[in-house]
Structure 1
Amino acid sequence: MNQHTRTTASGEVIVMLNLHFKPGSAGKVLEKMLPGIRLTRMETGNNEFQMFKVKGSDDKYVVFERWKDQAALDWHWQQPYTKEALALFGEHLATPLSETDDVAYLTDVMEAEE
């Protein structure tokens, strides 16, 4: 998922995922993901990793990630718990995770344009 990433001026990579789970499956997914979220937050290159539930929806979540650099994010993608999360997404998302529709690489609007 990293072919089109864009780093910030500091080299940091900021990613946001929009997740829409099949009805009734989010709780099962979260239960299995919690240990991996804890491990992700401890990764050396992780600056921030948050998973939020969208108010008013039992099935919609947003993941917000900040990584030291692209190498840190690439390392994260290779971890067993990350691969497990992607497999859970494949099984429990209402539609497959789309690089163009569900994944956004962010930059601060206040940063000088390159």
Structure 2
Amino acid sequence: MAGEPQSDCLFCKIVAGEVPATIVRESETTVAFRDINPQAPTHVLVIPKAHHADAAALAAAEPGIAADVLREAGEIAAQENVRGSGYRVVFNTGSGAGQTVFHAHAHVLGGRGLEWPPG
């Protein structure tokens, strides 16, 4: 069921404290932690505590929490000192887009040039 913790979800296990992560910020509805395979000097994941498969599912079911994720992404950028130089917020949706953990999450990337298109 959407919103409920999934026993086979890595990010649900991080929210529950069953899997360690370097948590850098937490709110009532979100958790932010460092990516274990960083693609930039700042690479933090912001996830909703509630389980939703991807960003589209989260936005459809709980738009307020989707907004919380985006607000926290901005707070992370400020905390990590990349707000002024620029940062990117990325939601990979679906395996074809590179999503590997099917729990909605935003990547906050910064601290280096982030040219477009990425890659």
The alignment's TM-score, normalised by the length of structure 2, stands at: 0.30
Q: Compare the two structures and name the one with the higher helix fraction.
A: 1
The alignment's TM-score, normalised by the length of structure 1, stands at: 0.31
Query: Which of the pair has more CA radius of gyration?
Result: 1
